Amino acid sequence: MLVWILWNNRNNWVWNNVKDSGQQLCGKAMHLWNEWDAVQQIRDRNNSRPQVHQQNTQWKQPEFGWLKCNVDAGFHIEQGVTSAGWCVRDYLGQFVLAGTSWIKGKCSIIDGEALALFEAMKELERWGLTNVIFETDSKSVVDAIRCSYVGLSDFSILMCKIKQLLSLHLNFEVSFTK
């Protein structure tokens, strides 16, 4: 992981005139290692279970009095930006509110998905909305929110911010859906 991070940093310096500090490189390497280790554990666990066929999933409305906020990120490599979008619907499935934002710079998929979730949570907090289920298609982000691990990477700091928002708003929930 460290060699790949160093190689990638060298290429960014040569081709984009951008380089990270040693501390940032170490954090990225640790983050990648932890992600790889987590995937290996999940793979090992899944290999011990019988295969399950994937089924098509359909949007499910929340319970009466609740809102559902679907969140996703988009990656625009040519433009060097990541987009975030979210849409809120009520228990009848009717539109309530939506928003988009642009994040300068290229993000990893997990970072982009986490940033999209965080932006949606902050915006709904500003609007004073309560009883909200935030739904994302990033299982990695949901697992990281439920995990007690605390690291020093940018991703870990973002997870801490999301967890803090959830602790301040007990009527906010995060769930995963395919």
pLDDT for the residue 29: 79
Q: Helices (H), strands (E): how many in the chain?
A: 5, 5
Are residues 91 and 11 part of one domain? no
User: Is 52 inside any structural domain?
Assistant: no
How confident is the prediction for the chain on average, in pLDDT? 84
Of 15-24, 32-41, 123-132, which one has max mean pLDDT? 123-132
Q: Is residue 128 predicted with pLDDT exceeding 90? A: yes
For residues 135-163, average pLDDT:
85
121 is in which domain, residue-wise? 67-176
Are residues 73 and 38 part of one domain? no
142's CB contacts (< 8 A; 6+ apart) are 136, 174, 175, 176
Are residues 119 and 40 part of one domain? no
Share of the chain above pLDDT 70, in %: 92
- In terms of Cβ atoms closer than 10 Å to its own Cβ (0-12, 13-18, 19+), residue 88 is buried
Are residues 133 and 171 part of one domain? yes
Are residues 29 and 114 part of one domain? no
For residues 76-103, average pLDDT:
90
pLDDT-derived band at 75, boundaries 50, 70, 90: confident
Higher pLDDT, 161 or 6: 161
pLDDT for the residue 76: 87
Are residues 74 and 29 part of one domain? no
Are residues 92 and 24 part of one domain? no
Number of domains the chain is built from: 2
Q: Are strands 81-89 and 95-104 parallel, antiparallel or unpaired?
A: antiparallel
User: Is 155 inside any structural domain?
Assistant: yes
Are residues 93 and 41 part of one domain? no
Are residues 161 and 114 part of one domain? yes
